Chain A
């Protein structure tokens, strides 16, 4: 298969970017999208098509759809045309021979470009640091079977926990909101007895951090769910909103009663 690639090139965070056009030929339909970029880079390096030689920088690691490192915006869609798939698991057979494919980095204020198709997603780590965990220290915990958890709750928690933190939800959202990402983490713990203790504090702190870091607000377009490679449901956003509201009300109550919160 042959393709024309329009790829975003940007030297560094401060430089101005632009699209450049490349051609790749004789690509096997069983080749993955990232392997197709490997082939292009190999040509750039060994055939020295253009000087100075500057292979395309893109993030990738496990290439099994689980690490969340890959982050390409292909023909206007995060992770490309196939539903429920990271770009590393996307194969060229999903395209037509002769296609022109546009490849860009995630576009969001909170995810600045580092080089070409690489972006800085450390804002996600910062949100998690605000409470995306149960504050238990190592040791001194009860037996794993001490607290039975209804299978339905455990399954729903697992559905939410499947988030790989890739940022496709942010890239898909016209407001660059991180609500689905935050909602998935808040939901996972809100559904489990172990996580309920800190549920209110968690929801408030994570949402506040998300706002502070420049992510936009959620206007319920559900683009995030549609583009999520792990099919994380927007029902988690509804759960986050409930948790958040509950926490706000309780916080206000406690203030009235003269107590502190958290």
Chain B
């Protein structure tokens, strides 16, 4: 317990961040030039942080695994970014964005962090417009907004269905500007293999050059991880193929605590699974729920006939359709938060009302909106999404309702950080999806982009100075220190061991098996017996993986299979931690649903008396049980309630 200090500043909620900034230590321009920062990852959080550090005068080294920093998976975010601008004059405010986020997260996030997030949200929009991000506008030339789940206001700014792309290209532009100025040095096609600690502080990384295969050492005064989430543990997710958890996991094994790993977001509107060759799942933006209505047939025999291909969606008359979200949650309707919408879809499908060939799908229907607004308006709003759907499913969503089903999308859990976004390792900061901080047990739509950019543009540039102010007399680190030597050797040995197994099955074969265990037992509905079973199965699978995986190729040169094996080795361990966290948390909250803990009408049943805390896990070895540390969550400013989206 003593090791977890969240460092929440004193004062009333709306003055905490102001007070922090007024009292924090700063680094003078002359000293900034002497200090080096490593940033791993170039998504919204990493690119914005690196660019901002460069502007401030620090020496920055940035790493990404893709061929260009512009390709980080933030690019795929579709729907939008929240901010409390209240441009539509519909009652929004910083308080309301804060409150919706805390409530949406089912009261499992820190008040002070979330309030700061809401506070800086408006600066993000200003910054992005100044960078030339082409947000949607109205005919008067002002910025347009739409609604997302868990909110009754329109506070979401968007650039068609490509908001993540445009925000990331803005941050990539800022990064490029600093690369040109020489403050930032870019290392593309580099993958972090380990974190290096010197005297207990984060002082560098070991990375593999993915083109030459060379294992390289990099030193700095501080390290920022902005390496995204761990959704790919489930094999099938909406993450990119190369998104992985290895950087975060290596930091965990070096002493950074892992916060709330069980909090995984399963997004309600994804294109359903259709074959075992499938490599990933594709999200259909939550923004579609602005105009789409979700339904399944009211009668089981209709659902059966649809599944058998004897009936089509359009054959079902209006009175025989069950718009179950509107029925169960009249106040929020189709715009309930993601966890609620996902569970409701699963409930209907499990009860036998699902559609599509597998029965694991529900309809998202635009017929009413097309009638009300015309096809052109709908096309203007969601054209690219409709096109993407048609390419994948080969069906025209203007004429037939879309079929959708929940899929793993985002991880609220991540490395534990304090108010300064610093982990339990001094000098290791964690930003964006990689940290656990702001979304509690469920993230609201359009809040990931907000958090990534808040962390990178407006939080880290302040808080990292508070740390580095004490480091100005520390000379630049050399990478020939024994700590670097040892970390490099460990990384090299691990890769060599993977190659030397020369077993029978591919990395993908094991990854699919792990994914199935995770989806079946650590997915949308979890229970004690299933979680215990999963832990056993994961351990067995991990053992088998290390005995019988086949990694072709050499240490030198391009070797994708080797990197996939390295990532899967980490997933095998992380999967177990997710299951353990889920097993220990004897309550349902947000995305974590334990079937033993639900209300009579199937809603999540929280246990605030026993579980109103952040679970921060400490590594104790591959075969030892991790140690749980609790950070109690104190709600001083909001009243904790049972979430209500009904009235």
Task: State whether B506 touches A42 (Cβ < 8 A).
Answer: yes
Q: How far is the CB of A111 from chain B (nearest CB, A)?
A: 10
**Residue A5, interface by CB 8 Å:** no
- Which residue of chain A lies nearest to B283 when distances are taken between CB atoms in the complex? A64
Please tell me if B282 contacts chain A, counting CB pairs below 8 Å: yes
Contact status B165-A154, CB under 8 Å = no
The one of B122, B131, B164 that contacts A136, using a Cβ cutoff of 8 Å? B131
B509 vs chain A, min Cβ distance (A): 7
Interface size class on chain A is: 35 or more
Cα-based distance from A240 to B252 in the complex (angstroms): 49
CB closest residue in chain B, given A164: B165
A149 to B141 CA separation, bound complex (whole angstroms): 4
Please measure, in the bound complex, the distance between the C-alpha atom of A31 and the C-alpha atom of B75, giving whole angstroms: 24
Q: Report if A247 contacts B (CB, 8 A).
A: no
Q: Which of B271-279, B343-351, B367-375 contacts A (4 or more CB under 8 A)?
A: B271-279
Cβ contact of A69, chosen from B66, B129, B274, B391, cutoff 8 A? B66
**Please, how many angstroms separate the alpha-carbon atoms of A143 and B123 in the complex?**
8
Q: Please pick, from A85, A93, A125, A161, the residue contacting B186 in the complex, using a CB distance under 8 A.
A: A125
A236 proximal to B (CB < 8 A): no
Q: Are A132 and B173 in contact (CB under 8 A)?
A: yes
How far, in Å, is A160 (CB) from chain B's closest CB?
Answer: 8
Q: With a CB–CB cut-off of 8 A, which chain B residues contact A52?
A: 552
State A192–B240 Cα separation when bound (angstroms). Answer: 32
User: Among A115-123, A170-178, A213-221, A249-257, which stretch is in contact with chain B?
Assistant: A115-123
Task: Evaluate contact between A45 and B127: CB separation under 8 angstroms.
Answer: no
Which positions 542-560 of chain B face chain A at CB distance < 8 Å? 550, 552-553, 557-558, 560
Please name all residues of chain A whose beta carbon is closer than 8 Å to the beta carbon of B505 when the two chains form the complex: 46
The A contact surface, by secondary structure, is loop
A128 close to B (CB within 8 Å): yes
Complex: chain A residue closest to B135, CB-CB:
A154
A-B contact count (CB 8 A): 221
Q: A61 touches which one: B179, B241, B394, B558 (CB < 8 A)?
A: B241
Out of B66, B130, B160, name the residue touching A158 (CB < 8 Å): B160
A138 adjacent to B55 (CB under 8 Å): yes
Q: A12-B557, A154-B135, A157-B134 are in contact. Are A66 and B278 (CB under 8 A)?
A: no
On whether the beta carbons of B162 and A66 are closer than 8 Å, the reply is: yes
A55 located at the interface, meaning its Cβ lies under 8 Å from any Cβ of chain B in the complex: yes
Nearest Cβ distance between residue A210 and chain B, in whole angstroms?
Answer: 15
Interface pair A158/B134, CB less than 8 Å apart: yes
Can you name the residue of chain B whose Cβ is closest to the Cβ of A56?
Answer: B560
* A129 & B180 in contact (Cβ 8 Å cutoff): yes
Assess A93 versus B394: contact at CB under 8 Å? Given A133-B173, A158-B159.
Answer: yes
Which of A62, A122, A125, A138 has the most chain B CB atoms closer than 10 A to its own CB? A138
Residues on B with beta carbons closer than 8 Å to the beta carbon of A65: 388, 391
From A31, A85, A129, A195, contact of B176 by CB (8 A): A129
Cβ B134 vs Cβ A121 within 8 A: no
Would B242 and A46 count as touching, CB distance under 8 A? no
**Nearest CB of B to A16, in Å:** 16
State whether the Cβ of B461 lies closer than 8 Å to any Cβ in chain A.
Answer: yes
| A38-B275 in contact (CB<8A) | no
Cβ–Cβ contact A138 & B457, under 8 A:
yes
Given A133-B173, A188-B132, does the pair A46, B506 have CB atoms closer than 8 Å?
yes
Whether A28 and B277, one on each chain, are in contact in the complex, defined by CB atoms closer than 8 angstroms, is yes
Decide yes or no whether A25 CB sits under 8 A from chain B. no
Contact A31 B67 (CB under 8 A): no
Q: A62-B76, A151-B138 are in contact. Are A128 and B176 (CB under 8 A)?
A: yes
The 8 A CB mask of B268-298 against A (1 = contact, 0 = none) is 0000001101111011000000000000000
- Tally of chain B residues near chain A (CB < 8 A): 83
B558 touches A62 (CB 8 A): no
Residues in chain A near residue B48, CB distance under 8 A:
138
A154 touches B136 (CB 8 A): yes
Shortest A56–chain B CB gap in Å is 9
Q: Which of B76, B274, B461 is within 8 Å of A66, CB to CB?
A: B76
Which one of A60, A128, A132 contacts B241 once the chains associate, using CB atoms below 8 Å? A60
Q: B508 at interface (Cβ–Cβ under 8 A)? A: yes
Are the C-beta atoms of A144 and B71 separated by less than 8 Å? no
B172–A62 contact, CB under 8 A?
A: no
Nearest-Cβ distance from residue B603 to partner chain A, whole angstroms: 32
In the complex, whether A54 has a CB less than 8 A from a CB of chain B is yes
Among B160, B179, B240, B457, contact of A129 (Cβ-Cβ < 8 Å): B179
Is B600 engaged at the interface, CB distance under 8 Å to the other chain?
Answer: no
Residue A130 is within 8 A (CB to CB) of chain B in the complex? yes
Whether A78 is near chain B, meaning CB under 8 Å from some CB there, is no
Shortest C-beta distance, B3 to chain A (Å), equals 33
| B 119-156 contacts with A by CB, 8 A | 122-123, 125-132, 134-143
> Of residues 60 to 115 in A, which have CB atoms within 8 Å of B's CB atoms?
60-69, 84-85, 89, 91, 93, 114-115
Asked if B409 CB lies within 8 Å of chain A CBs, one says no
| A46 to B550 alpha-carbon distance, docked (Å) | 8
A34 CA / B122 CA spacing, docked (Å): 40
Query: What is the bound-complex CA distance between A53 and B505, given in angstroms?
Result: 13
Given contacts A133-B173, A188-B134, A194-B129, contact A161 B166 (CB under 8 A): yes
Identity of the chain A residue whose Cβ is nearest the Cβ of B130 in the assembled complex: A141
Partner of B552, one of A55, A63, A67, A145: A55
Give chain A residues whose Cβ lies under 8 Å from the Cβ of B166.
Answer: 158, 161
Asked if B134 contacts A139 (CB within 8 A), the reply is no
Whether A135 lies near B561 (C-beta < 8 A) is no
B388 close to A139 (CB less than 8 A): no
Most chain B beta-carbon neighbours within 10 Å: one of A125, A135, A165, A195: A125
Give 12 CB contacts A-B under 8 Å: A55-B553, A66-B76, A68-B68, A125-B188, A133-B131, A134-B132, A136-B130, A145-B142, A161-B134, A162-B160, A188-B132, A194-B132
Q: Which 5 A-B pairs have the closest CB atoms?
A: A133-B173, A148-B141, A53-B552, A141-B130, A158-B134
Q: Given A64-B283, A66-B75, A69-B66, output 5 extra A-B contacts at Cβ < 8 Å.
A: A55-B552, A133-B132, A134-B131, A135-B177, A150-B137
- B interface residues (Cβ-Cβ under 8 A, vs A): 48, 51-52, 55, 66-71, 73, 75-76, 85, 87, 122-123, 125-132, 134-143, 159-160, 162, 164-166, 169, 172-174, 176-177, 179-180, 186, 188, 211, 240-242, 274-275, 277-280, 282-283, 387-388, 391-392, 394, 457-458, 461, 504-506, 508-509, 550, 552-553, 557-558, 560-561
